[in-house]
Amino acid sequence: MEAFVARQPLYNRSEKLVGYELFYRDGMTNAYPAGVTPLESTAKLINNTHLTLGISQLTHNHIALINFSEEALLQRLPLLLNPKEVIVEILESVPPSDAVYDAVKELHSKGYLIALDDFVYSREWLRFVKLASILKIDVQKSPLSTMKSFILNMKKNLPKVRLLAEKVETLEEYEEAMELGFNFFQGYYFGKPKIQKLNTIAPQIHNVLNIYQVLLSDAPSVDEVVTLVSQDTALLYKLLRYINSGIFGQSSPIKSVRNAINYIGLERMKKFTALLLTCSAGEDKPQGLVVSSITRAKMSELVAERTTANNEQSFFVGLLSQMDAILDVPLAMVLKKINVAKDIQLALLGEKSELSKETLLLRNILKLAECQEAGGYYETKRAADLVGVNYETVPVCYKKAVTWVDDFLSAGELFEGMDKVQSIKYDLDSRESVAA
C-alpha cells in the first residue's frame, strides 16, 4: 500500500541543509488531512516512516523535526523513536501543564532534543524553555521588527537555546532574521514541503487488537503473542524495525518470532501494539503477498517438523521471503534494516558455498514451499528429495497451511475487532501509556 509524507528543509546560517520537518499526508494533496486528529497524524507518520524503512532513509541521515500534540506527549509517543534521529517539536496548541512538563522533562533526560513551535514568550512557558534546544519563531505571526529585544535577552540568559525562524517567505525576511542572529531557517523562501510517496504495509487491525487484549490480561501468554505475531507479516516486519531502530542500543540478531518477542519484552510489546492500534483503523485489508508469505511460512514450519531443521527458524525464513515484493525494495536492503541472524540472511540470500548444512536445509525447505506454490510436479519432487521428506507429505503440509491461514483470515475474525477499535484507539492512555 502507498503512504505519503511531506518534508520541508531546514537550513543553518551557512545555508547548509541540516534537517527536515516531516508532516503526515494521506495523498498527493499538500495539506493537513481533514478528519485526522493530531495524535493519529503523528502515529501514522511514525508508522509510515520509522517502522517501515526508517526516518533516516527519508531524511538522508539528517535530523527530523516531528510534531507532537498534548496527547502524544502524555502517552510518551516520542520514546518509540531514536533520539539521535529526531527533534521533538511541541505544538503551540499544547497547554503548559504539569503533566506535559513531566513528559517533556523525561524526554529531555533521555537525550531527546526539544523544540517549542510558534513560540511566544510567557512566564508559564519559562520552565519549558530551560529544557528546549530550539525555539521556533513564526515570522509572519511575530514580525521580526518587534523581536530584537527578545532575541538579545534570550541569547544573554539562555545562550544554549537556538532560534529557528519559520515561515520565512522572502529574501528580505531571511536577511533580517540573519541580522538578528537566528540560527536556523525554514519557509517557502527555501522550499515548500515536498510530498514523498512510500510503500508500506499495514498489520491486520483485528490481529493487533487481539494481541493488545492478550497483553492487557493479568497473566499474558508469550506463546499466544508469538502465535498472533506469526500470523501477520506486516506486524512482524514493523516489530523488527522497532527492535533495530537504535532505541535499544545494539540489538542481537533475531532468529525467530519468539526471539523477537522475548527480546522486546511484553511491556514494550504492549506500547508498540498500542501505537499500531492508534494508526491502523481503516487499513484492515489483507494483501495477496502478505497472505502468501504467511502461508509459505506455515508450510515451511510444517515441513521442518518432519526434518532436523528448526521449525521456528523455517517459519521465520518463509515469512520474510517475500518482503522485497511487499515493500518494493530489494530484500538485501530489507534485511539490513531489521538485523536478522546471519543464518536467516544466508538462507534467504547467501551463495550456496556459504551455507552450513543447517542453513542449506532452511534454504531447501523454502525452495520446496515455493515449488509447491508454483504447482510443478517435477520441481516439487526434486525439492522434496533435497529436503529429505516424502513427496506425498508436501501437498498435505500445504493444505494444512492454507487451512490455517484461511481460518485466521475468515470473514468473522477479520471484522470482529473493527467495532471495538474506535472505542479503544482514542482512549489508549486510559488503559496504558504508549511508552513506559
d(CA 379, CA 402): 20
Q: What is the pLDDT of residues 349-391, one digit of tens each?
A: 988 888 899 999 999 999 999 999 888 888 999 999 999 999 9
Q: What is the pLDDT of residue 41?
A: 86
Whether residues 414 and 272 share a domain: the answer is yes
Taking the complete model, does pTM exceed 0.75, yes or no? no
3-class SS at 24? strand
Give the pLDDT mean for 62-77: 91
Whether residues 18 and 92 share a domain: the answer is yes
> For the ranges 98-107, 162-171, 291-300, which has the lowest average pLDDT?
291-300
Does residue 436 form part of some domain? Answer: no
Q: How far is CA 21 from the centre of its chain?
A: 17
Q: What is the pLDDT of residues 154-206, one digit of tens each?
A: 888 888 899 999 999 999 999 999 999 999 999 999 988 988 877 777 777 77
- Domain of residue 251, residue span: 205-285+410-430
Whether residues 398 and 304 share a domain: the answer is yes
Whether residues 337 and 398 share a domain: the answer is yes
Residue 62 banded pLDDT, cuts 50, 70, 90: very high
C-alpha cell at 379: 520441481
- 350 exposed, middle or buried (CB, 10 Å; 0-12, 13-18, 19+)? middle
Q: Regarding predicted confidence, which is higher, 403 or 433?
A: 403
Whether residues 262 and 294 share a domain: the answer is no
Q: What is the pLDDT of residue 273?
A: 87
Does residue 24 form part of some domain? Answer: yes
Cβ–Cβ < 8 Å for 304, 314:
yes
d(CA 88, CA 115): 6
Enter the DSSP assignment of 26.
S
Whether residues 425 and 276 share a domain: the answer is yes
Domain boundary at 168, 199, 230, which?
A: 199
Residue 280 banded pLDDT, cuts 50, 70, 90: low
Q: Regarding predicted confidence, which is higher, 436 or 342?
A: 342
Residue 287 banded pLDDT, cuts 50, 70, 90: low
Q: Does 434 score more than 90 pLDDT?
A: no
Give the mean pLDDT of the chain.
84
Which range of 141-150, 195-204, 223-232, 337-346 scores highest in mean pLDDT? It is 223-232
Whether residues 249 and 394 share a domain: the answer is no
What is the chain's alpha carbon radius of gyration, rounded to the nearest angstrom?
25
d(CA 343, CA 256): 11
Whether residues 41 and 157 share a domain: the answer is yes
Beta strand segments in 46-180, E: 63-68, 86-90, 113-116, 134-138, 162-166
Residue 111 banded pLDDT, cuts 50, 70, 90: very high
Cβ–Cβ < 8 Å for 241, 52:
yes
Whether residues 293 and 264 share a domain: the answer is no
Domains identified in the chain, total number: 3
Does residue 50 form part of some domain? Answer: yes
Q: What is the pLDDT of residue 408?
A: 66
Residue 85 banded pLDDT, cuts 50, 70, 90: very high
Domain boundary at 199, 216, 234, which?
A: 199
Residue with cell 506500547: 271
Domain boundary at 199, 226, 260, which?
A: 199
Whether residues 9 and 32 share a domain: the answer is yes
Supply the CATH number for residue 127's domain: 3.20.20.450
Beta strand segments in 69-161, E: 86-90, 113-116, 134-138
d(CA 65, CA 303): 48
Residue 417 banded pLDDT, cuts 50, 70, 90: very low
Q: What is the pLDDT of residue 411?
A: 35
Does residue 339 form part of some domain? Answer: yes
- Residues paired with residue 9 on neighbouring β-strands, in sequence order: 20
d(CA 423, CA 196): 32
Q: What is the pLDDT of residue 410?
A: 57
Does residue 435 form part of some domain? Answer: no
Q: What is the pLDDT of residue 420?
A: 39
3-class SS at 393? helix
d(CA 292, CA 102): 46
Whether residues 135 and 8 share a domain: the answer is yes
How far is residue 215 from each of residues 117, 227, 265, 431, measured CA to CA in Å?
A: 36, 13, 11, 11
Whether residues 180 and 260 share a domain: the answer is no
d(CA 147, CA 145): 6
> For the ranges 51-55, 265-269, 332-336, 407-411, which has the lowest average pLDDT?
407-411
